[in-house]
Each structure stands twice: as C-alpha cells, then as structure tokens.
C-alpha cells in the first residue's frame, strides 16, 4: 500500500516529468531518504550527466506503454480509430501524441521505488507481449512463434495472407519502435491489411523487456551491429527459418522499421545484404554511428557520431548497395531530421559510384517531386535512379510531421494519419527489387 507521503512524491514526479523536468522528477524518486539515499540500499545513487543537462544512469526508462493483445485475422482487419494518449519523454522533453521511440533501458531508480512507481503509473498492469508455445500458422491468421539460436531467443508474430496456398510469396520483416510490440506495430502501420491485398507474408519480431527495458532494439551497442552476432544474428536467423518453413521467396525479402526499429533495419541491410533485397527506414538513424547510450543521444540530436552533422558515408566506414526507401518528418524532435540525410548517404554513395562507371550512365538521374496529402501533410520525394533508370534510393521528407509512422492508423501508437502512406509506398518500392538484380545489372 502506497502511503500518503509516497503518493504525493509520485504525483509530483509525474507532474515534473510531463513538464519535461526529468532531473527534478528523478531527484524525487531517487531521494527516498534524506541526503539523496536510495531506499533499496541506503547508499548514494551515482549519476552521470549526458547531453542537455539531464542526469541518467544506464539506459532510459520509458514511461508509457500501449499493448494490443487482440488476435488479428483477415476478417478482422477493419480500421476503427481509438483514442491515443500523449506519452511523455524520458529524455526530458514533452512528447507529442504522435511521437515516440527512444534508445532504451532503465534510469537507475532503486528497485523498491521503481516497483512503486510502476504501480502508481498503472504500468504494472500492462502485460508484455504474450509468450506462448509456437502456434500453427495458416492462411489469413496472425500467429505467434519463437526463434532461438546461439545468441538468444525472440518471440515473433507472423501474418500469412488468406491468398497463400503454398506459392513462394515475398516476406516483409517489420521492426517495431521502443515500447511497442508486434500487435501494436501491425495495427499502426496497417501492414497486414496491405499484405492481404498484395499477397506477402509479414514477420514482426518482438523485443522483450528482458533484452531492453523499453523494448527498443539495441541498435546503439557494438555487439548488436555485427553479422552473425547479437540481435542481427537472431533477426536474420528468424527470417531464414520463416522463409524455409513456409516456402517463401528468398529473393524477395525486405526489412523495415520505425525509430529504433528503423536503425536496426538499416543495420540488417548493412550486415545481411545477401538476405534483404530492400530496406525501409522510418524516422531512423544510420548504421554504426553509436557505440553507447551517450553516442545514441548525440546521434539522435543529429550532431555527433562518425558522420558528425554531415553526410560523409565513407567516414562511417559503412555503405550499402541495398535499395532503400526513407521516411522522416521535418518536425521530428526525437530523431533529428538530419539523420534521414545521413541514412541516405550510406546508400547513395554506392549509387553515385556505380552511375559514374556505368555505360548506361545517361539514364542515371535524381528526381525531386513535391506533393500534398488531401487534408494532410505536404511532402518532398527525392528519387535516385540507377543507370537503367530504376529507383534505387527514395527519400520522403514529410512537412509538419513528428516522430510517427506516416499515414498510419490511430489503432496503433506513434502514427500520423495525415502523412503520405509509408506502408503503401514501401511495399511499392520493395516490389521493384529482388536479390540478384545488382549483379545482373
């Protein structure tokens, strides 16, 4: 039972956090005893100061969850908007209702206080992604599964369209953002609905809180940026298993993600170019620009890391020939919009080299289009075409949009229905590409 004094502390911490005063809120929670002593140990709680004057220890504690537990089948894919609360930032700034994913982890609050804080916020009642035995997948169903390799285990959800009758369909791997889970991400992106219409399977790996307390993919850790190592190894292995199990088309495998999921998606494109035929990066960051949480914060602000504030992909040591489509809102206060340019640079560098040496270089070009969604956001689409005139890199800058999936449904978290439909555009772009086209060109 939380006593009156503790309740007042919790109320004040909540108020300060919503006002963007993270340091003050944490001081209240960590100052459980006079002199700043932690209730759990009675010892001084060490702090580290990273950018912006905020004080953190370890990773980040995310104060808002949204879990969608409802099973989805082909017959239940109806878009019925639901209310969406405005989450707040654990990084010290108030977040928009459509904003959302951060690098991850847990602020160093003594365990006893953290439990009370979660109960006070009501988060203790929010279930994590359900973990059960692997379900038998069948057409038109959204089923659960699990994959394990030498690195670790991850649960997943798999959508198989009702039109699947054994033919080798494409596979799209969707990586959710922080605090999300596969059900939430599927609902917000509407990817299952389009998969039903355009006949592809969709794999949604789930990041558990045991791997990251905010359920973020660990894109900013060196051990999770390697081929055959860390989370990329798990995700690639899971993808291959699903392809083999269901007889899918290994030449048409794609990966996309939002925020931390987008950063991990581009890591997969860099480390497994032989597996993924194209990548979709929504509100994400370049591969290899962070090795720690402070690096991640700097990269998210757009001013630090191997690429600095510029777009020199060679400086990062990473470039890729995997075709890429990039979406980013120009009012994103979580992941600075300059990151879209930095992501594009890692893909565009090889485009330019190939165009310069190709006999068909006359067809290589860059086109820029302006557009406007009816009653929604304006946007700019920049497309890099290769020597054959095929689109190899597409960059969408959505005007007035924040940190949210463009054109998504309010049934999921961190979406902006006013933007161009990122899901539809990514699928269109993906379907232009398959493995082997680079060597054949």
pLDDT tens per residue, range 265-279: 999 999 999 999 999
Is pLDDT larger for residue 125 or for residue 266? 266
26-30, 125-129, 168-172, 187-191: least confident range: 125-129
Catalytic residue list contains 89:
no
CA pseudo-torsion sign 8, 9, 10, 12 = positive
Q: What is the pTM of this model?
A: 0.70
Instruction: Share the mean pLDDT of the chain.
Output: 75
Distance CA 163, CA 31 (A): 58
- Check: CB of residue 429 under 8 Å from CB of residue 325: yes
Phi, psi of 70 (to 5 degrees): -65, 130
- State the CATH architecture for 141-440: 3-Layer(aba) Sandwich (3.40)
For residues 265 and 175, the answer to whether their CB atoms sit within 8 Å is yes
Are 206 and 242 within 8 A, CB to CB? no
Distance of alpha carbon 129 from alpha carbon 4, whole angstroms: 33
Classify 74 in phi/psi space as left (phi over 0), alpha (psi -120 to 50) or beta: alpha
Shortest CA distance to 279 belongs to which of 319, 217, 324? 324
The residue written with tokens 């269109």 in the block is 428
Q: Does 355 have pLDDT greater than 50?
A: no
* Percent above pLDDT 90 for the chain: 52
3-state DSSP assignment of residue 28: helix
CATH 3.40.50.1820-classified regions of the chain:
141-440
Say if residues 63 and 54 touch (Cβ distance below 8 Å): no
Is residue 293 very low, low, confident or very high in pLDDT (cuts 50, 70, 90)? Answer: confident
Residue 388 — very low, low, confident or very high, per pLDDT cuts 50/70/90?
confident
How confident is the model at residue 23, as a pLDDT?
Answer: 55
What is the Cα–Cα distance from 296 to 304, expressed in whole angstroms?
Answer: 9
Choosing from 104, 259, 409, 413, the catalytic residue is: 259
pLDDT band per the 50, 70, 90 thresholds, residue 61 = very low
pLDDT recorded at residue 437: 66
Q: Lowest mean pLDDT of 76-85, 333-342, 348-357, name the range.
A: 76-85
Question: What gap in Å lies between CA 387 and CA 390, rounded to an integer?
Answer: 7
Number of other CB atoms surrounding residue 29 within 10 Å? 24
Give the torsion through C-alpha atoms of 99, 104, 108, 109, to 10 deg: 50
402 pLDDT above the threshold of 80: yes
Distance CA(428)–CA(198), nearest Å, equals 10
Measured CA to CA, the distance from residue 27 to residue 36 in angstroms comes to: 8
User: Kind of pairing, strands 405-406 and 415-416?
Assistant: parallel
Mean pLDDT within 114-128: 39
Question: Could you report the per-residue pLDDT of 141-155, keeping only the tens digit for each?
Answer: 899 999 999 999 999
pLDDT at residue 358 is higher than 60: no
CA 286 to chain centre: 12
């Amino acid at each position: 039972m939380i006593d009156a004094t503790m309740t007042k502390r919790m109320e004040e911490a909540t108020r300060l956090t919503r006002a963007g005063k993270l340091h003050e809120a944490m001081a209240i929670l960590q100052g459980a005893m006079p002199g700043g002593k932690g209730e759990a140990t009675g010892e001084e709680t060490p702090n580290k100061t990273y950018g912006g004057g905020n004080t953190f220890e370890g990773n980040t504690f995310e104060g808002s969850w949204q879990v969608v537990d409802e099973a989805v089948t082909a017959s239940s894919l109806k878009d019925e908007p639901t209310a969406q609360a405005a989450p707040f930032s654990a990084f010290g700034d108030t977040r928009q209702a459509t904003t959302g994913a951060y690098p991850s982890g847990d602020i160093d609050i003594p365990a006893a206080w953290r439990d009370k804080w979660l109960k006070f916020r009501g988060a203790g009642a929010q279930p994590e992604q359900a973990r059960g035995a692997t379900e038998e997948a069948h057409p038109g169903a959204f089923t659960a599964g699990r994959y394990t390799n030498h690195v670790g285990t991850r649960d997943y959800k798999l959508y198989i369209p009702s039109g699947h009758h054994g033919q080798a369909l494409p596979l799209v791997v969707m990586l959710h953002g922080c605090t999300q889970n596969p059900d939430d991400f599927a609902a917000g992106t509407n990817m299952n609905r389009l998969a039903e219409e355009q006949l592809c399977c969709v794999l949604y790996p789930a990041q558990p809180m045991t791997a990251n307390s905010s359920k973020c993919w660990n894109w900013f850790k060196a051990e999770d940026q390697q081929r055959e190592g860390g989370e990329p190894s798990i995700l690639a292995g899971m993808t291959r298993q699903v392809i083999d199990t269901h007889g899918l088309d290994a030449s048409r495998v794609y990966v996309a993600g939002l925020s931390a999921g987008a950063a991990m998606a581009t890591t997969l494109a860099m480390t497994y170019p032989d597996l993924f035929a194209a990548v979709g990066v929504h509100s994400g960051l370049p591969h290899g620009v962070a090795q720690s949480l402070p690096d991640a914060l700097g990269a998210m602000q757009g001013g630090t890391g191997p690429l600095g504030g510029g777009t020199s992909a060679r400086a990062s040591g990473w470039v890729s020939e995997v075709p890429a489509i990039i979406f980013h809102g120009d009012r994103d206060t979580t992941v600075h919009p300059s990151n879209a340019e930095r992501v594009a640079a890692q893909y565009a560098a090889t485009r330019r080299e190939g165009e310069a040496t190709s006999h068909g270089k006359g067809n290589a070009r860059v086109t820029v289009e302006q557009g406007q969604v009816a009653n929604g956001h304006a946007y700019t689409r920049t497309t890099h075409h290769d020597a054959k005139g095929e689109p190899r890199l597409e960059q969408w800058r959505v005007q007035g949009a924040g940190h949210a999936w463009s054109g998504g449904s309010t049934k999921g978290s961190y979406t902006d229905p006013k933007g161009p439909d990122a899901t539809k555009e990514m699928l269109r772009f993906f379907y232009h590409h398959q493995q082997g086209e680079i060597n054949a060109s």
